[in-house]
């Protein structure tokens, strides 16, 4: 059953990857006058591949659920793959409402990057720890992930708006920050490339260190340790000695992975820029030249309007109910809880500024992009680097 589950996820990944080519072909062959009239042949193939891929990923989710005996959202691999599925599902629903294939061209690469990111974590099925043995795990985590998936569609629409409206012939703050968004996405690929590279080389090193409970522990690195654990002693002969050590509140191994990801991202981004000889955002502009700005602005806003209450329900309300039942207090100022609250406050401000202050168009698009950055910071930095009650199984 586990192998079937893994194969279904791989099939979904390949289908999503193939769909991007057809979404691109659809945009290239479509006129603006036809944008609201549904997809052409290329677009229909792209949407078909996306739907089949989503069904395959649903198959992965349920077969893994059967194999594990619990909802597969209990570690980084499981949660991140579910988040990607929620994102694709949200896109499919919004596509059939608005009939725009351009949204797929920007949404599916994000879904692929999320799955690729998930694949770098241990995928073994392990028993739930006592604190997670509750039906509230399924309710809280899946609802929060679905909300984040819908909000991520808002990011894709906002990104389309910015790529369309920002003049790439000039160098200013707008072009700089838009390119930083592109660089961040490339960094995920850098993380995958670095992880695969060191894994293929069979690199590993071990440390003895003192954890936050002042107990001696052992940790194994699969990448050279630029950052070492607190009071760490390298026990692997000939291995790379860490440049610095960090306090116990920070997960040194995972921070080390993040740093290597940035290194890989910088190198990969440099290679891409050498090949295309322009900003990535500038290279994408031909794909969005026929899109109507009001159209993508509406999609971005509607996605937040739907995703915000779903996220609030899952990440805050259901989470507080579970916390009260599990730990007899509904809030403990855990880093994950704090960032869920920050995310809630940000999107509440988004809707307030949109409805009361008239922040439409480019301002709204920037807010959608910033919101996604907050979501990804929560997923990556808070889960991986900062130790807390919500720290998932690591890399």
Q: Strands 205-210 and 216-221: what pairing?
A: antiparallel
Domain count, the chain: 2
Task: Pick the last residue of a domain from 230, 249, 277.
Answer: 277
Same domain? For 370 and 358 the reply is: yes
Domain contains 391: no
Contact by Cβ (8 Å): 331, 264: no
Looking at the chain, the whole-number percentage of residues with pLDDT higher than 70 is 92
Task: Pick the last residue of a domain from 217, 250, 277.
Answer: 277
Residue 33 — very low, low, confident or very high, per pLDDT cuts 50/70/90?
very low
Same domain? For 246 and 98 the reply is: no
Domain contains 392: no
Same domain? For 176 and 247 the reply is: yes
Residue 216 — very low, low, confident or very high, per pLDDT cuts 50/70/90?
confident
Same domain? For 48 and 124 the reply is: yes
Query: Rounded to an integer, what distance in angstroms lies between the CA atom of residue 384 and that of residue 395?
Result: 8
Domain contains 147: yes
Domain contains 6: yes
Same domain? For 322 and 249 the reply is: no
Q: What is the pTM of this model?
A: 0.83
Task: Pick the last residue of a domain from 277, 308, 327.
Answer: 277
Domain contains 390: no
Same domain? For 55 and 193 the reply is: no
Domain contains 393: no
Same domain? For 249 and 146 the reply is: no
Residue 394 — very low, low, confident or very high, per pLDDT cuts 50/70/90?
very low
276: Cβ contacts below 8 Å, ≥ 6 apart: 283
Per-residue pLDDT, averaged over 361-369, amounts to 93
pLDDT: which is higher, 255 or 14: 14
pLDDT: which is higher, 137 or 98: 98
Domain contains 342: yes
Same domain? For 188 and 271 the reply is: yes
Same domain? For 287 and 272 the reply is: no
Same domain? For 254 and 180 the reply is: yes
Domain contains 353: yes
Q: Which two tokens stand for residue 310?
A: 């779903």
pLDDT higher than threshold 60 for residue 24: yes
Over the stretch 110-136, which tens digit does the pLDDT of each residue have? Answer: 999 899 888 877 788 877 766 667 777
Same domain? For 258 and 315 the reply is: no
> According to the model, what pLDDT value does residue 146 have?
95
Same domain? For 33 and 151 the reply is: yes
Range of the domain at 321: 2-168+278-384
């Amino acid at each position: 059953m586990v192998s079937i589950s893994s194969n279904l996820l791989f099939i979904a990944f390949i289908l999503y990857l193939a769909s991007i080519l057809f979404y691109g072909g659809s945009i290239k062959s479509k006129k603006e006058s036809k944008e609201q009239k549904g997809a052409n042949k290329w677009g229909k193939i792209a949407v078909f591949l996306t739907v089949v891929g989503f069904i395959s990923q649903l198959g992965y989710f349920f077969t893994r659920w059967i194999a594990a005996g619990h909802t597969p959202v209990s570690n980084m691999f499981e949660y991140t793959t579910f988040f990607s599925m929620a994102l694709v599902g949200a896109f499919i629903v919004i596509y059939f409402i608005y009939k725009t294939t351009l949204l797929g061209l920007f949404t599916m690469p994000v879904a692929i990057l999320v799955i690729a990111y998930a694949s770098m974590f241990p995928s073994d099925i392990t028993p739930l720890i006592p604190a997670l043995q509750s039906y509230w795990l399924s309710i809280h985590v899946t609802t929060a992930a679905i909300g984040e998936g819908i909000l991520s569609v808002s990011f894709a629409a906002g990104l389309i708006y910015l790529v369309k409206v920002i003049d790439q012939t000039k160098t200013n703050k707008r072009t700089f920050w838009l390119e930083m968004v592109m660089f961040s996405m490339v960094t995920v690929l850098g993380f995958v490339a670095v992880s695969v590279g060191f894994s293929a080389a069979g690199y590993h090193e071990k440390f003895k260190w003192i954890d936050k409970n002042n107990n001696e522990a052992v940790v194994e690195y699969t990448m050279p340790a630029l950052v070492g654990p607190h009071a760490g002693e390298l026990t692997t002969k000939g291995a790379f000695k860490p440049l610095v050590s960090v306090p116990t509140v920070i997960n040194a191994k995972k921070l080390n992975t993040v740093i290597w990801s940035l290194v890989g991202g910088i190198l990969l981004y440099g290679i891409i820029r050498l090949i295309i000889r322009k900003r990535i955002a500038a290279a994408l502009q031909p794909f969005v030249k026929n899109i109507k700005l009001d159209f993508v602005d509406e999609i971005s806003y509607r996605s937040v309007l739907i995703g915000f209450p779903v996220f609030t329900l899952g990440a805050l309300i259901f989470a507080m109910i579970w916390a009260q039942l599990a730990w007899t207090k509904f809030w403990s100022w855990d880093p994950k809880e704090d960032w869920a609250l920050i995310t809630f406050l940000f999107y509440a401000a988004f809707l307030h500024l949109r409805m009361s202050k008239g922040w439409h168009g480019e301002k709204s698009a920037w807010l959608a992009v910033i919101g996604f950055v907050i979501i990804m910071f929560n997923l990556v930095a808070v889960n991986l680097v900062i130790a807390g009650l919500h720290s998932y199984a690591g890399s």
